[in-house]
Amino acid sequence: MLRSGTKAEAAPPHFTRAASTDFLPALRGEAKSLASSMWSPRGGGVRLWPRRGRVGPRALWGEDELISYLVLFLCPFPLGTMSEVIVSTDWVEKHLNDPKVRIVEVDYDPATAYEAWHVPNAVLIAWRELRHPVKRDFVDPEGFEKLMSERGIAPEHTVVLYGDFNNWFAVYAFWLFQAYGHEDVRVMDGGRTAWAKEKRPTSRERPSFPKTQYKVKRVDWGSRRAYLWEVLNKVIHGEVGRSTVLVDVRSPAEYTGEITAPPEYANEQTQVGGHIPGAANIPWGQAVDPETGRFKPPEELRRLYEGRGVTPDKEIITYCRIGERAAHTWFVLKYILKYPAVRVYDGSWAEWGNLVGAPVKKGNEP
């Protein structure tokens, strides 16, 4: 597919596999849209990268080749290498003293959770430590490195996260750990709820591990994070409900506009209530067994989401108020149901509901 007379640079090792496989229609749709803005039939192809040490002629790629390569670029996980990221309470108990494992409790309110009791040898991360100290954003890579180093976490550790509120903020932390390239991070199914109900050992002692020199290996927001301008563009151009599904995981009262934030967050209200037009309301808690705190079985989850039009052939974007509940649903769709294209709009309603001129809908209908 290269233009006659040109010689292509060697493609990445996975290129041949991608080019010969027809899969993941949602990703191919996104890739085709992106390719159309880069590829020129008149020029016979697209310039992707320069030849080493030269500024002159470059390898030109045909449209189909480019689409196949972009599928790999857009894919939110290494194809065919989905690792096990959910561990049981039994697994955690067997690894309480494993030097290769760091157990981390992530809480909204450490005073009523971690400080009352926690899994033995678990270190604490309060959810606000994951936020930037000045602006509304996540802690930057340098701040993340400092936090990990102080907790005695090294890049080679298997990190197991759990927490209060049925792992709300544990999964929120999981999302950030992945964005900053930690290779082996997992979630303990059931969190504090399951651990307590099973009467497993607890402690009030804070463990002390040697300080590390943690270094962030890479930063990858693109496959995990959706930004305001992207969501707004999809709403305006009628993509929501067609190629893209927005999932509002807040409570029905927040979705309809009856309230702008849960009563316990009185200082986090928005200017207006309601939801993003076209968004389906599937509260995050419907994915969890309230008795055990554990994720519901995959078959039940599949019925829940597919029954509301949330299908794996579309791009899925989840949102809530500040992103923590949305990360929970992101985890369910991506790691339990194995949906290929799922991202979190972490700006969520705290951003959208304060934006001048943003389209808003009230009531029960999307």
Q: Which two tokens stand for residue 319?
A: 């949102």
Long-range residue pairs from 90-95, CB within 8 A, at least 24 positions apart, any chain? 91/188, 92/119, 92/160, 92/162, 92/188, 92/195, 93/200, 93/201, 95/160
Give the residue among 226, 176, 256 at the shortest CA–CA distance from 348: 226
Q: Which two tokens stand for residue 246?
A: 């927005």
Q: Which of 320, 333, 341, 344 is catalytic?
A: 320
Sequence-ordered list of residues with C-beta below 8 angstroms from that of 324, at least 6 positions apart, any chain: 127, 168, 169, 171, 172
Look up residue 34 and give its amino acid.
Answer: L
320 catalytic per annotation: yes
Q: Which two tokens stand for residue 227?
A: 């930004």
Scanning 164-227, the segments in alpha helix (DSSP H) are 168-179, 191-197
DSSP line for 79-136: TT-----EE-HHHHHHTTT-TTEEEEEEES-TTTTTTT-B-TTEEEEEGGGGB-SSSS
Please list, residue by residue across 176-195, b when 16 or more beta carbons sit within 10 angstroms of its beta carbon and e when fewer do. Answer: bbbbbebeebbbbbbbbbbb
Sequence-ordered list of residues with C-beta below 8 angstroms from that of 208, at least 6 positions apart, any chain: 152
How many helices (H) and strands (E) in the chain? 12, 11
Residues that are catalytic: 320
